[in-house]
Amino acid sequence: MSLMVIHGVLLHYGKEAREGAPKRRLKAMPYVTATVIRAGLEQDIALRLLEPSDVLKLSAGDILIDKV
């Protein structure tokens, strides 16, 4: 019985460790910005600061995500 409990704890710990790895990789990713034209000036801003009136400047090879 105690062997089953120890086995369950080890499996749970291993699962938690594997699930945490993608989160750490996402946090380590570079800061995501967008180049916008506001009031005639080009600015690099964080995606969370985008406004509906912003004009995005795109170049070849830019990656678009669903939030834009």
Q: Which residues of 9-25 are buried (b: 16+ CB within 10 A; e: fewer)?
A: eeeeeeeeeeeeeeeee
| Beta-carbon contacts of residue 31 (< 8 Å; ≥ 6 apart) | 46
Q: What pTM was computed for the model?
A: 0.48
Any idea where the domains of the chain sit in the sequence? 2-56
Q: Which residues make Cβ contacts (< 8 Å) with residue 33, sequence separation at least 6?
A: 44, 45, 46, 47
pLDDT at 67: 60
pLDDT for residue 42: 93
Which pLDDT value is given to residue 68? 61
Distance (Å, whole) CA 31 – CA 19 = 22
Digit-coded pLDDT (tens) for 10-68: 888 778 777 777 777 777 777 778 899 998 999 999 888 888 888 999 989 887 776 66
